[in-house]
Structure 1
Amino acid sequence: MTVQDVDRSGFTEQWERWHRAKEEVLAGPHGFLAITSLRWPGPRPERYDDAPGAWSVVDGHVVVELDDGEELTVGGTTVRGRYDFGVVAERDSVYAGFGAAVVEVAKRGGHDILRPRHPDNPLRTGFTGTPAYAPDPRWVREARFVPYDVPLPVTVGAAVEGLEHVYDSPGQVEFDVDGATYRLTVFNGSRPGALMALFTDATSGVTTYAANRSLQIDPPDADGRVSLDFNRAANLPCAYTDLATCPLPPAGNRLPFPVEAGERIPLERGGQV
């Protein structure tokens, strides 16, 4: 199928549904825009002004000690006094509710973290949407998935200084632009068999967020073919808030040409409509 064959109206409508759904998650009552702080609990109990209880990490377990009159809801159960969240797995999150808010208990880069999320956070209530390039079928590129013999552990940096993430990469995707061939290292995507690329390009720090954008990729077909729809190049939460621990792209995932497609710098970071 050529660009001329594309139903542009339908293409735009599908993109708008994707973008609207992504914005709804981001700006949901407990989405990333609702985060009010990023905490790093240690061995001594510590209280914070945006979540109940005194928090600590004891023998690898995240523990909260709630005073009289304080309570949390975990998995539908109200807890009081001392509560042990156990060992939280890497990249997992547990949410404990209090009033209209929740506190996220998570592990990122081997560190236990807490992120209270309040629906009335000004970053959320003031959010009006993310600028983006107009969807254009010319930015849908056919590509080839080039798998590794075995998944390769790849260490990448993070939006938070001093933090690192390690992901297993199943391979690379290879594609052509203006007669030149490029490769992006990919990680596992959000559903079985799917892939995800983190990348920057010549627009990064100019019209798109400097640190990273992500691209979800449908599973390869039987011949290893995949489609890269750069119209869906998406901002990660760190594009909006310093309270996110987003991974940075792997070395080599900087495209030397401008990808003038997908989401642009958020208004909250000085972007333009």
Structure 2
Amino acid sequence: MKYRLQFKQRKLHFLIAMLMGFSLVSCKEEDPEYLKSIEQWHKDRINYLKSEEGFINLAGLYWLEEGSNSFGADSANAVVFPNKANANMGNLILKDSTVYLVSNAAITINGEPAADTTLVYNDSTDVEMRYKSLLWFVIKRGKNIGIRLRDFDNPSLAAFDSIDYYPTNPNLKLKATWRPYDPPKSADFQNMVGMTINYPVYGAFNFEIDGKEYSLEPIGEPEPEGYFVMFYDKTSGHSTYGSGRYLYVPVPDQNGKTIVDFNKAFNPPCAFTEFATCLFPHKENRLPIFIKAGEKFSGH
């Protein structure tokens, strides 16, 4: 009986040791510095969204028609600005993808008083126009040209102070391999305002989750933050934004190695404002699993 008891105890200890070993293999240890870096990343996101270049201050999005587009606070204008603008600010003239400002108010252009008629947009010119707390500039989406308006006194700025997100999961910071396409391909992407825009796709990032291989395709050339990736997963439309989330992946090293860190998955601008034109992920970037990391979404 004593021998059997000792044998059972040894067997139990062996099983416990195996389970402990398995947990060490399957779960990454929490690195305090990494956790701290993700906390800082979340803070930086809030600061960016509330900055002058962020999306919380957006106050309007207007698509221009070919020819003259009157603008100001008067509802009779083609482009109706908020009430803090003058009733009639002037005209924005669109001609063959070039935009001119004809000013009737104390508008500044890049900090200088606007002339009566000023070129404000073409392939080589892109300026900011300002009146009091309002700032606006020309944007181009596909063949469409419009005006994006910011209000630096937007009440939304004071109300916005946090984004809900999943607890940091080190297991979703993944090693990835870059697989370039030769030749590159292109894909059509839909956006929030019903446009279809074609972008080049130069390759895909391959990675594993729980022993299964997945891939994500970035669009276009890398930006300063890295390659831009959009994706859906099984949390989309439930605990996360219904139109998917975004992610930057660092440019791979000379061996094609990089990191896909889903703890830095973030909501598109359209999760915060109706005045954005967010792209949707294409079908190749639908992950058939739950990615419980990064930012959540609970509605505007």
Normalising by structure 1, what TM-score?
A: 0.88
* Contact kept? 2:57, 2:157, Cα under 8 Å: yes
- Alignment partner, residue 57 of structure 2: 34
- Alignment partner, residue 176 of structure 2: 143
Deviation at 1:104, TM superposition (A): 2.3
- Counterpart of 1:189 in 2: which secondary structure? strand
- 1:21 and 2:56 matched: no
- Counterpart of 2:35 in 1: which secondary structure? helix
Deviation at 1:16, TM superposition (A): 1.7
Deviation at 1:75, TM superposition (A): 2.8
Matches of 2:29 and 2:165 in 1, distance apart? 24
- 1:111 and 2:144 matched: yes
* Contact kept? 1:160, 1:245, Cα under 8 Å: yes
User: In structure 1, which of residues 42, 54, 61 is the aligned counterpart of residue 98 of structure 2?
Assistant: 61
Give structure 1 stretches of 5+ with no counterpart.
none
* Contact kept? 2:93, 2:99, Cα under 8 Å: yes
1:123-138 alignment runs, 5 A limit: 123-138=156-171
Identity %: 28
Higher relative contact order (CA 8 A, sep 6+): 1
1:198-217 alignment runs, 5 A limit: 198-217=230-249
Deviation at 1:157, TM superposition (A): 0.4
Deviation at 1:217, TM superposition (A): 0.7
User: In structure 2, which of residues 78, 100, 107 is the aligned counterpart of residue 72 of structure 1?
Assistant: 107
- After alignment, is 41-50 or 110-119 more displaced? 41-50
Amino acid in the other structure paired with 2:98: H
- 1:218 and 2:287 matched: no
Give 1 or 2: higher helix fraction: 2
- After alignment, is 211-220 or 12-21 more displaced? 12-21
Amino acid in the other structure paired with 1:18: W
User: In structure 2, which of residues 122, 135, 152 is the aligned counterpart of residue 87 of structure 1?
Assistant: 122
- Alignment partner, residue 159 of structure 1: 192
- Alignment partner, residue 120 of structure 1: 153
* Contact kept? 1:31, 1:117, Cα under 8 Å: no
Deviation at 1:35, TM superposition (A): 1.1
Matches of 2:284 and 2:96 in 1, distance apart? 38
Matches of 1:258 and 1:23 in 2, distance apart? 25
How well do the aligned residues superpose, as a CA RMSD in angstroms? Answer: 2.2
Deviation at 1:247, TM superposition (A): 0.9
* Contact kept? 2:46, 2:161, Cα under 8 Å: no
Deviation at 1:122, TM superposition (A): 2.7
Matches of 1:113 and 1:220 in 2, distance apart? 35
- Alignment partner, residue 254 of structure 1: 286
Matches of 1:222 and 1:6 in 2, distance apart? 28
Matches of 2:290 and 2:162 in 1, distance apart? 23
* Contact kept? 1:144, 1:224, Cα under 8 Å: yes
* Contact kept? 1:164, 1:247, Cα under 8 Å: no
* Contact kept? 1:30, 1:101, Cα under 8 Å: no
Amino acid in the other structure paired with 2:280: L
Amino acid in the other structure paired with 2:192: A
Matches of 1:249 and 1:78 in 2, distance apart? 41
Number of aligned positions between the proteins: 261
For the structure 1 residues 49 and 86, does the alpha-carbon distance in structure 2 shift closer, same or farther, using more than 3 Å as the test? closer
Deviation at 1:6, TM superposition (A): 4.5
1:227-238 alignment runs, 5 A limit: 227-238=259-270
Deviation at 1:235, TM superposition (A): 0.9
Matches of 2:53 and 2:246 in 1, distance apart? 22
Deviation at 1:146, TM superposition (A): 0.5
* Contact kept? 1:30, 1:102, Cα under 8 Å: no
- Counterpart of 2:128 in 1: which secondary structure? strand
- Counterpart of 2:94 in 1: which secondary structure? strand
Deviation at 1:30, TM superposition (A): 5.0
- 1:197 and 2:225 matched: no
For the structure 1 residues 4 and 249, does the alpha-carbon distance in structure 2 shift closer, same or farther, using more than 3 Å as the test? closer
Q: Deviations over 1:47-98 (max 9, x none)?
A: 122353322312221122111xx13322332213222213157xx9642222
Matches of 1:239 and 1:260 in 2, distance apart? 18
- Greater Rg by CA: 2
